[in-house]
Amino acid sequence: MKTPTLKYCLWGILPVLLLIFPAGPAYSAEGGVVQTYKNATVPFDDQKQVDGVLPLAVNSVQVTERYKGGRFRTETRKDKLQRFSCSQCHNNKPVTVPRAAEMTHGDITLVHGSQDRPLSCYTCHKKDERDFLVTEQGVKVDMDHSYQMCGQCHFRQKKDWVGGAHGKRISYWAGQRVVKNCTACHDPHSPLFKKRWPTTYSPPLSKSK
Amino acid sequence: MDPRKNNTDQKQIENDCRQAKQFGRREFLKGAAKAAAVGGAAMLAGCGTGMLGSSEELSLRWKEYFKKNYRLMTQEEKDVTVQRLEQLAKIKYNVNIQMRSKAPIDGVLFGYAFNVTRCEGFMECVAACVKENNLDRKSNTQYIRIFEMEHGQMSPEVGNGKFYHQVPVEDHFYMGVQCFHCESAPCIKACPTKATWKEPDGIVVVDYDWCIGCRYCMAACPYYGRRFNWNEPQVPLKEMTKKQHYLGNRMRAKGQMEKCTFCVQRSREGRLPACVEACPTGSRVFGNLLDPDSEIRFVLKHKKVFRWKEDLGTDPKFWYFID
Amino acid sequence: METTQEKVMMKNSPKKGIISFVTDVIAWNLSGGIGYQIFLCCLAALVMLGVYAYSVQTKLGLSATNMTDIVSWGFYIANFTFLVGVAAAAVMIILPAYIFKDKDLHRVVIIGEGVANGALVMCLLFITVDIGGPLKLWHLIPGIGLFNWPSSMLTWDIVVLNGYLALNILVPAYILYCQYNNREPDEKIYRPFVFLSIFWAFSIHLVTAFLYQGLPARPFWNNPLMGPRFLASAFAAGPALITVVLLIIRGATTYKIEDQIINKLRLIIVVSAIINLIMLFSEIFKEFYLPTHHSLPAIYLYFGLKGHNALVPWIWTGIGMNLLGTLTLIWNPGKNNSKVLVPACILLFLGIWIEKGMGLIVPGLVPSPLGEVIDYAPSWVEISIALGILAIGIGVVTALIKPALIIEQRFEARQ
């Protein structure tokens, strides 16, 4: 009986080859997803490609900044302010109600800026036209476009907000981009966030049953 | 050799055989009857009330049992199975659901970014995901996990995933983890029945009815992205999300794998996933990676991004970034 | 010139068909003394317990076990992993018998194959009870389902396990059927399949090792030593079990088993056990010389982690039993005395069962990819089902070996 050494070798190598063979195609994708998206330079037509995107039912204004050559919108603010418009009271007539400031604006605590150089009311509010805000340079800013105010100091966050890395998008991912404005999340008078309890928790994973 | 002795030997052998055969036959019949009785009792006890249902339900289930893998179905077959599932949901839960089997959109590859600086641990995303995806309340299944981390470490493995106190805590930051929808996902390679695959729009999905429940994909995932239904999932009917997708948030059964699907029932309609929509601090960014004007592309271009366990070669489509 | 005796014998042994072969086998399996009948009843009782527990599992789902999303593979897969090794170990008898033409071991090949078949049946049953949707297993059949070969290692495992089972049933069945009909089995027919089964045996255990080895997500498993370690531990535990079975056969039946066979098996066990211990040392060195985050599973296994140390006494007992068994077999006090050999082999078998079963699967999954540590111990459902499957395995081994020995003895007597 001949010793079938060659047969052994073949039988032994065959499963090994079959195992290594599928590994080749696994490494054929060069660069992965990063290369895939870097190669994608053609703009995506939301309206054409994605059907069923409904326009968002919020009041919004178009932001003055351009976003990658296009425009985007942000929520209006004036319709959400309780005491707007300011000129109803602040119209150069004398205020006759006693302690009016406390009654109307008593709920505002101004804690904005550093301790030795805090902001004051007139840093942002235009003294002669109370319906508007004013920048350091004296440029009048509408309350719906308050991002221009915040962007004076917080220019990095504003740049991110225009791009999409900061703030919150309230429209769909496809279609017209509508984002929250700064004051929707940050109270401009005391912007520091308070602590709160989380909505839920992750229960322990031990099987107690 | 003495023939007579031979014959007696032979008779002895024959007697032994006969006795053995009789003994054998009796024993065999006894054993078989016992086994049949026990087996029947066990089947009835095991099946319980699950098997009993109306004949309509049974016929729908029968047809569902023999259907193909979703990937191999034609659009008509998909529509037919969606209809059957809607009917079954009506019979089983008495709810009217709308199930769709919408195909992926051309020219779309979904990407996700998570702002580690902005997350404050509110876990609104977790609650929204549980509700939107009809996750099992009994076993507290959560696709998303949030970790409270101390400064100095960037890996959720050393964070605390079970916190429940006022947030944010000083000198801590928060990181969220979920399925990262890897481009070269190990779970897809591991599945023996091809029940999980990557759709053309980049979402890694599971055909729940095709999955046999071997849990090899769960061993293969380095990110704890996949969940298994150890028990029959329970969802309160009031809280059930009725707009469902076959590959997404439809009701699963015990013994099936499930995972985050980037809310395929929403994202294919152009809507944001539930977690992105729910986040109060805007830490989550979602969009089309192939659209150079999208927010996600802005983040990837201008912010310092990193991916978790990138050294494992999984190529995930979920990036973390810091302000 | 035939004598009368020969005429009588030939008249009483005409060429018998398959049906009589099968009925005779069944008859032989159910007949025996009172001890044997009690043994069969005990097996039946355990099987009934297993079936009842499985019915509970079918009703509640796999939540009847103690497995969770973190420890997603538990007692069932641990036993499966270990038993594939036992099944592969039959090759350690077949290889010397056929390649080195060892006459002594040639006599016990059929017993080795019987044990291997029992272990394989147990493996397949453990997989079936672990599956979440066993009624959907037809999804694996290529043609009517989808079979993810060659990407998924599980598909490789299915192919090699079933192929090995087929080889291990068909070849001995052919040999036994020939001997039942008082014919010398034709070597030219079955010899190529025997050689195929030698390579197949190595491959079943390598493929099972690659199931774990190929997952970079689990650093405890993702090392190149898993495959060789599985083989070494299999070739120590399997022949240990076969030695115990042979000693039982020697004590309980009239089948002759010489001392050289036991001694040769002992040498095979000793060499494999020493290689297994060297590999264990190599793994321990890698984990503990410069520990990394990837060493956390090993720390959890040997010393406990974050207050969870359920596996620590388990693994140290296992290693202790392994060492004690190996040393006893090396020293061989009593010179192959079965009173020493049986406990030593059982110690070695159980030690490797602990180390390769729970001591491999659970630390691979703990800490989870998110760093969470959890303790795992099998529930009553898992233990009952495992006992039931064990009873089925023992039943299969008995059912295969008993008729095989009867046929072999009669065949040898008539030679």
Please check whether residue A33 touches B, CB under 8 A.
yes
Both tokens of C348, joined, read 């070695």
Which residues in chain B have their CB less than 8 angstroms from residue A164's CB?
Answer: 285, 287, 294-296, 298-299
Name the residue facing B317 among A33, A40, A204 (closest C-beta): A33
Q: What are the CA-CA distances from residue C29 to residues C26, C108, C204, C248 (Å)?
A: 5, 19, 29, 17
Hey, is the C-beta of A69 within 8 angstroms of any chain B C-beta?
yes
Out of C195, C210, C374, the one facing A206 most closely (by C-beta) is C374
ipTM of the complex in this document = 0.90
Q: Average pLDDT of C354-364? A: 95
What per-residue confidence (pLDDT) applies to A1?
A: 47
User: Which CATH number applies to C32-414: 3.40.50.170, 2.60.15.10, 1.20.1630.10, 1.10.10.1200?
Assistant: 1.20.1630.10
pLDDT at B184: 94
Residue pair C41/B30 in contact by the 8 Å Cβ criterion: no
Helix axes C226-252, C91-98, angle to 10 degrees: 80
Q: Return the residue matching tokens 């201008």.
A: B302
Interface size between A and C, measured as CB pairs under 8 A: 26
Chains that contact B by 3+ CB pairs under 8 Å? A, C
Mean confidence (pLDDT) of chain B: 87
Looking up tokens 């090792």, which residue turns up?
Answer: C209
Question: What is the predicted pLDDT for the residue at A26?
Answer: 47
What local confidence, expressed as pLDDT, does residue A61 receive?
82
Q: Each residue of C381-410: pLDDT tens digit?
A: 999 999 999 999 999 999 999 999 988 888
Over the range A108-134, which residues count as b (16 or more CB within 10 Å of their CB) and which as e? eeeebeeeeeeeeeebbbbeeebbbbb
**Chain A within 8 Å of B130 (Cβ-Cβ)?**
yes
pLDDT tens-digit map of C62-82: 999 999 999 999 999 999 999
CA pair distance A200, A197, nearest whole angstrom: 8
C309 within 8 A of C301, measured Cβ to Cβ:
no
Q: Which residues of C touch A (CB under 8 A)?
A: 66, 68-70, 150-151, 156, 195-196, 199, 203, 210, 372, 374-375
Contact between chains at C375 and A206 (C-beta distance less than 8 A)? yes
Partners of A205 on chain C (C-beta within 8 Å) are 68-70, 372, 374
Q: Does C139 touch chain B (CB under 8 A)?
A: yes
pLDDT value at residue B153: 86
Over residues C112-130, the mean pLDDT reads: 95
Cβ neighbors of B177 (< 8 A, separation 6 or more) are B144, B145, B146, B147, B156, B223, B224, B308, C370
Nearest-Cα residue of chain B relative to residue C219:
B222
Query: Taking Cα atoms as reference points, which of B317, B211, B323 lies closest to residue B267?
Result: B317
| pLDDT recorded at residue B6 | 47
Question: Would you call C135 an interface residue with chain B, using a CB distance cutoff of 8 Å?
Answer: yes
Domain ranges, ordered by start, for chain C: 32-414
pLDDT value, residue A209: 32
Quick one: tokens of C393? 């395995």
Average pLDDT, chain C: 91
Inter-residue contact A149 to A162 (CB < 8 Å): no
**Numbers of helices and strands, H then E, in chain A:** 9, 5
SS3 B174: strand
Helices (H), C99-152: 103-130
What is the chain B residue with the closest CA to A26?
Answer: B184
Q: Render pLDDT for C193-202 as a digit per residue (tens, 0 to 9).
A: 998 999 999 9
| Nearest alpha carbon to residue C398 among C111, C203, C134 | C111
- Two structure tokens written together for C14: 């005409």
Give the Cα separation of A163 and A157 in Å (integer).
Answer: 10
Q: Express each pLDDT in B36-80 by its tens digit.
A: 666 665 555 544 445 556 888 899 999 999 999 999 999 999 999
Which residues of chain A make contact with B300, given a CB cutoff of 8 A?
37
Asked if B118 has any chain A CB less than 8 Å from its own CB, the reply is yes
**Structure-token match 């319709």, residue found:** A79
| Consecutive 10-residue averages of pLDDT for chain A (209 residues) | 62 67 52 89 78 76 78 88 82 81 86 86 88 92 91 93 92 89 90 90 64
Per-residue pLDDT in tens (0 to 9) along chain B, 323 residues: 454 544 555 555 555 545 555 555 556 666 666 666 666 655 555 444 455 568 888 999 999 999 999 999 999 999 999 999 999 999 988 899 999 999 999 999 999 999 999 999 999 999 999 999 999 999 999 999 999 999 988 889 999 999 999 999 999 999 999 999 999 999 999 999 999 999 999 999 999 999 999 999 999 999 999 999 999 999 999 999 999 999 999 999 999 999 999 999 999 999 999 999 999 999 999 999 999 999 999 999 999 999 999 999 999 999 999 98
Mean pLDDT along residues C160-167: 94
Q: Mean pLDDT throughout C323-342?
A: 90
Q: What confidence score (pLDDT) does residue A70 get?
A: 78
